[in-house]
Chain A
Amino acid sequence: MLGQQIINGLVAGSAYALFALGLTLMFGVLGVVNLTYGFYFAVGAYLALLAAGAGAPIALALPLAAILAGLVAVVLDFLLLTRLRRTRAPELASLMVTLGATLFLYSAMSALLGSEIRRFPAGLLDNGAFALGAYRISVGQILIVGTAVLLSLGLVSLMGATRTGLAMRALAENSDASELMGVDTQAIMRRVSFLSGALGGAAGVLIGLEYNAIAPYMGEAMTLKGFAIIILGGLGNIGGALAAGLLVGVLEALTAGYVSSVYKEAVGFLLLVLTLWVRPQGLFGRPGARRA
């Protein structure tokens, strides 16, 4: 059972990691606590559901949903935060604005689409599974892990090897200085919004596939978990978010399997509290450093 639980945990963990990646990027580069992030998660899932309902295969529905969720993120970021940035409003202001917007967006979504759980049409994914000895890995699980790995590798190479990535890192370090150095900060911010929205949307599709359940409020609990993960990983730390996402996924599975399913949801937050006591900068963060 141990092996199977670890596999389950790693699969859930890779979706968590993907979700946390977008969140930590948004936080690290844009420097705002943007609570609408969970909404992109739900938007991605619903868009993929719509596309699949119209007959699109998952290979089309997933990227389409991610791209559209990214565009939604760009628009929302522009509408909600442009003014606050221009007036250099304190961080609390962006927190309040995005909190209000999220509540509105979730309610509007459930009024529009209904709050009941929706599911992808049967047969969207091959129902098959591979047996590795005593372990089972389904096609859906392979898709989740594969997508998470590809997107994370893509993001890491984007950050490390392109001019856009360099500009993003510069922006994370100091937005005024990078603007003075000729970086088009507005354009970079839009790109970061798009990337993080797309990552959140993709994570929504994957979680929706794995658990076969999509609901307007699915992003709410996930946002809390996402914050726990990026704090564990060290705020703005991409590698940290990935590692912490996997860690929380595996710990949840092991807790449910060996302790009690009652404590499954609590384990990530327990780990968070313990970490903040011992290493306030996060498990993988460096003191005083802010990286993207």
Chain B
Amino acid sequence: MTHAPKLSPSRRSVFLCALLGFAVLARGAEAADPITIGAIEILSGPNAKYGFSIKNGFDLALEEVNRAGGVRGRPLAIAYEDTGGSKEQAINAARQLIARTKAPLLLGPTLSTEMFAVGPIANERKVPIIGTSTTANGVTAIGPYVFRTSLPEADVVPVTLRTAQAKFGVKKVAVLYGRDDAFTKSGYDVMKAALEKLGVETLATETFGAKDTDFSAQLTKIKSLDPDAVVMSALADAGAGILLAKEAQGFAPKVRFIGGNGLNSPKVLEIAGAAADGLLVGSPWFIGKTDAANQKFIADYKAKYGGEPDQFAAQAYDALHVAASAINAAKDVTGEAIRDALTKTKIVGVTGPLSFTPDRDPADSSGVLVLEVEHGAFKILD
């Protein structure tokens, strides 16, 4: 038998008393009992940069809410739990926030796959959960307590394609997508539906594998069909590879390459360099938006954190304002009441007007911007 160092019962109770004392002290220091909501994000590991962008967005909006008097006359607080990007940790985090912290509302998680694990738990406990970065199909179909403020690809891609059709007279396109990745495949489904709806002719549909680095055969075929544009659903790496390859094959600059959200990334510009010029992508938010609310958000963010905000921070910032507005409007601070209030919430955020459809997806895609790459930088297409 091994003896693990253990606190004796009396020691343990002293320890607990001390903890309790701290808790009471901490409580006494504040003006009123805060309303604490939970946030489940990736705050460690390789994808932590998304989680921290989101956390920064929440914290900035939280400051604003509390400076304006909090919610229901009480301060608002966020209890963060880290998932490290794992579904299992996300589930633990949700259980902890619901049972121990008694959070009446959850924000997050960061990834759609995590949401598919956590959403059912929140839904079963009747605690509303708002994803700010979960764009996969079917997220809100988990149940009536699952919301999201991030526009799914199905809302962004049609705007991009419609704009390309109107602006550049795109009539016939070739489609190129990653066949063995859930995200790029669902992006392709959205593109296909949108192209059919717009009456754009698809000359060819070509695919590639997630690990492929050679796109020459597909692009040679596409080039020979002489399309007006090439629509692609790819992650940043493969997308940039395709742009480099099309440059090497000498595609005419008038052939536009149009991407989904996977290509809306600074990484694409970094890798593809000049080959990315002319690329069109749709985005729910852009740092170059000149409206006053957005400019203030960017200035405040820079003042607080030193760096520039990204799309994830902007979406999180808006989501916290949505949450605060719903908590204020709810008849009491229970999950059920907040859920009902959320369905009626309407705000105008930095990503545009925000409200929910009956299916709890964002109702308004008028905030979507089409971006064009010019001289190695994204800018709003006008």
Partner-B contacts on A (CB < 8 A): 1, 4-5, 8-9, 12, 116-117, 119, 122, 127, 129, 136, 138, 140, 210-213, 217-218, 221, 252-253, 255-258, 260-262, 264-265
Contacts and interface: CB of A to CB of B under 8 A. Distances in A.
A221 B210 CA distance: 13
A175 B206 CA distance: 50
A261 B213 CA distance: 13
Given A138-B248, A261-B207, A116 B237 contact: yes
A257 B220 contact: yes
Contacts of A116: 237
Nearest to A7: B220
Contact of B249 (A136, A253, A260): A136
A8 B241 contact: no
24 contacts: A1-B220, A1-B223, A4-B220, A12-B216, A116-B237, A117-B237, A127-B247, A129-B250, A210-B214, A211-B245, A212-B213, A213-B213, A217-B211, A221-B211, A253-B216, A253-B220, A255-B217, A256-B206, A256-B217, A258-B221, A260-B207, A261-B206, A261-B217, A261-B218
A171 B343 CA distance: 79
B217 A129 contact: no
Contacts of A221: 211
A132 to B, nearest CB: 13
Contact of A262 (B207, B213, B247): B207
B241 A213 contact: yes
A115 to B, nearest CB: 10
Contacts of A9: 217
Given A129-B248, A129-B250, A138-B248, A117 B213 contact: yes
Contacts of A119: 271
A217 B213 CA distance: 12
Contacts of B179: 262
B213 A8 contact: no
Contacts of A253: 216-217, 220
Interface string B180-212: 000000000000000000000000001111010
A91 to B, nearest CB: 30
Interface residues of B, number: 25
Interface of B: 179, 206-209, 211, 213-214, 216-218, 220-221, 223-224, 237, 241, 244-245, 247-250, 271, 273
Given A253-B216, A256-B218, A257-B217, A122 B209 contact: no
Nearest to A129: B250
A182 B209 CA distance: 52
B208 A261 contact: yes
B237 A252 contact: no
A253 B217 CA distance: 5
B221 A1 contact: yes
Nearest to A217: B211
A5 B244 CA distance: 18
Given A5-B220, A211-B214, A212-B241, 20 more contacts: A1-B224, A8-B220, A12-B214, A116-B237, A119-B271, A122-B273, A136-B250, A140-B248, A210-B214, A212-B244, A217-B211, A221-B211, A253-B217, A253-B220, A257-B217, A257-B221, A260-B207, A261-B207, A261-B217, A265-B209
A265 B211 CA distance: 11
Contacts of B208: 261
A8 B217 contact: yes
B263 to A, nearest CB: 15
Contacts of B241: 117, 211-213
Nearest to B214: A211
B248 to A, nearest CB: 6
